Amino acid sequence: MSSGRTNSETKRITQQVGFGLLGFIATLTVLPIIVVVGYMIQKGAPAISWEFISGFPADGMRAGGILPAILGTLYLTLGTAVFSVPLGIGAAIYLAEYAPENGWTRAIRVAITNLAGIPSVVYGLFGLGIFVLFLKLGTSILAASLTLSIMTLPVIISTSEEALRAVPNSFRVVSTSLGATRWQTVRRIILPQSLPGIITGVILGLERAAGETAPILFTGAAFFLPNLPGSPLDATMALPYHLFVISTQVPGMPVQIQYGTALVLLSFVLVMNIIASVIRSRARARRLW
Amino acid sequence: MDIILITGFSLSYADGTEGLKNITLGIPANQITVMLGPAGGGKSTLMRAINRLNDLADVISMTGSIIVDGLDVNDPKTNLVELRRKVGMVFARPVPLPLSIRQNITYGLEVAGITDKNRLEAVVEQTLKDAVLWDEVKDRLDSPGVALSGGQQQRLCLARTLALDPRVILLDEPTSGLDPISTAKIEDSLQLLKKRYTIVLAPHSVQQASRTADFAAFFLQGELIETARGKDLFTMPKDKRTQDYVEGRFG
Ligand SMILES: Nc1ncnc2c1ncn2[C@@H]1O[C@H](COP(=O)(O)OP(=O)(O)OP(=O)(O)O)[C@@H](O)[C@H]1O
Ligand SMILES: [Mg+2]
Q: Do the Cβ atoms of B31 and B196 come closer than 8 Å?
A: no
Task: Provide the CA B176 distance to its chain's centre, in angstroms.
Answer: 13
- For A190, the closest chain B residue by CA position comes to B98
Ordered by start, the domain boundaries in chain B are 2-95+169-246
pLDDT of B192 above 80:
yes
Nearest CA owner, ligand 1 atom 4: B13
Letter for the amino acid at B87?
V
Contacts of B91 in chain A (CB under 8 A): 170, 173-174
**pLDDT by residue (tens digit) across A21-44?**
999 998 888 888 889 889 989 988
**pLDDT by residue (tens digit) across A208-245?**
999 999 999 999 988 888 888 988 988 899 999 999 99
Which of A175, A178, A182 should we substitute to test contact with B (largest number of B Cβ atoms within 10 Å)?
A: A178
- For B54, the closest chain A residue by CA position comes to A173
pLDDT of B66 above 60:
yes
Domain limits for position A175: 68-286
pLDDT of residue A1: 47
Architecture of domain B2-95+169-246: 3-Layer(aba) Sandwich (3.40)
Q: What value does the mean pLDDT take over residues A169-185?
A: 96
- For B108, the closest chain A residue by CA position comes to A178
CATH of the domain at A248: 1.10.3720.10
Q: Is A280 a member of any domain?
A: yes
pLDDT of B40 above 60:
yes
pLDDT of residue A4: 53
Check A192 against B160: CB less than 8 A apart. Answer: no
Contacts of A173 in chain B (CB under 8 A): 53, 56, 91, 95
Q: What value does the mean pLDDT take over residues A170-179?
A: 96
Q: A-B interface: how many C-beta pairs under 8 angstroms? A: 64
- Using the Cβ of A194 and the Cβ atoms of chain B, whether some distance falls under 8 Å is answered with no
**pLDDT by residue (tens digit) across B142-191?**
999 999 999 999 999 999 999 999 999 999 999 988 889 889 988 988 99
With the most atoms of ligand 1 within 8 angstroms of its CB, the residue from B45, B54, B58, B221 to mutate is B45
Q: Do the Cβ atoms of A181 and A131 come closer than 8 Å?
A: no
Q: What value does the mean pLDDT take over residues B27-41?
A: 95
Q: What value does the mean pLDDT take over residues A70-83?
A: 95
Instruction: Tell me the three state secondary structure of residue B102.
Output: helix
- Cβ-proximal residues to A173 (8 Å cutoff; 6+ apart), any chain: B53, B56, B91, B95
Looking at this predicted complex, what is its ipTM?
0.91
**pLDDT by residue (tens digit) across B79-121?**
999 999 999 999 999 999 999 999 999 999 999 999 999 999 9
pLDDT of residue B56: 87
Q: Which ligand is nearest to the CA of A173?
A: 1
Q: What value does the mean pLDDT take over residues A85-111?
A: 94
Average pLDDT over chain B reads: 93
CA angle B219–B221–B223, rounded 5-degree value: 55
Letter for the amino acid at A230?
G
Q: What value does the mean pLDDT take over residues B45-59?
A: 93
pLDDT of residue A288: 62
Read off the pLDDT band of A6 (50, 70, 90): confident
Nearest CA owner, ligand 1 atom 12: B19
The helix (H) or strand (E) run that includes residue A153 is: helix A141-165
CB atoms within 10 A of CB A178: 26
Q: Is A249 a member of any domain?
A: yes
Which of A98, A174, A286, A287 should we substitute to test contact with B (largest number of B Cβ atoms within 10 Å)?
A: A174
Q: Which atom of ligand 1 is found nearest the CA of B42?
A: 18
Q: How many contiguous H segments (helices) and E segments (strands) does chain A have?
A: 12, 2
**Secondary structure in 3-state letters for A214-278:** HHHHCCCECCCCCCCCCCCCCCECCHHHHHHHHHHCCCCCCHHHHHHHHHHHHHHHHHHHHHHHH
**Phi-psi map region of A117: left, alpha, beta (phi>0 left; psi -120 to 50 alpha):** alpha
- Give the whole-number percent of chain B exceeding pLDDT 90: 88
Q: Is A202 a member of any domain?
A: yes
- Using the Cβ of B107 and the Cβ atoms of chain A, whether some distance falls under 8 Å is answered with yes
Q: Is A11 a member of any domain?
A: no
Read off the pLDDT band of A261 (50, 70, 90): very high
Q: Is A53 a member of any domain?
A: no
pLDDT of residue A173: 95
Q: Is residue B142 classed exposed, middle or buried when 0-12, 13-18 and 19+ CB atoms within 10 A define those classes?
A: exposed
Which of A177, A183, A188, A284 should we substitute to test contact with B (largest number of B Cβ atoms within 10 Å)?
A: A177
Q: Do the Cβ atoms of B200 and B47 come closer than 8 Å?
A: yes
State the total domains in chain A. 1
pLDDT of A55 above 60:
yes
Q: Is A52 a member of any domain?
A: no
Q: What value does the mean pLDDT take over residues B28-53?
A: 95
**What is d(CA A149, CA A285) in angstroms, rounded to the nearest whole number?**
32
Q: Is A269 a member of any domain?
A: yes
**What is d(CA B186, CA B149) in angstroms, rounded to the nearest whole number?**
14
- Give the whole-number percent of chain B exceeding pLDDT 70: 99
Q: Do the Cβ atoms of A89 and A159 come closer than 8 Å?
A: no
A152-to-A116, B89, B116 alpha-carbon distances in Å = 8, 42, 43
Check B111 against A178: CB less than 8 A apart. Answer: yes
pTM: 0.86
pLDDT of A3 above 70:
no
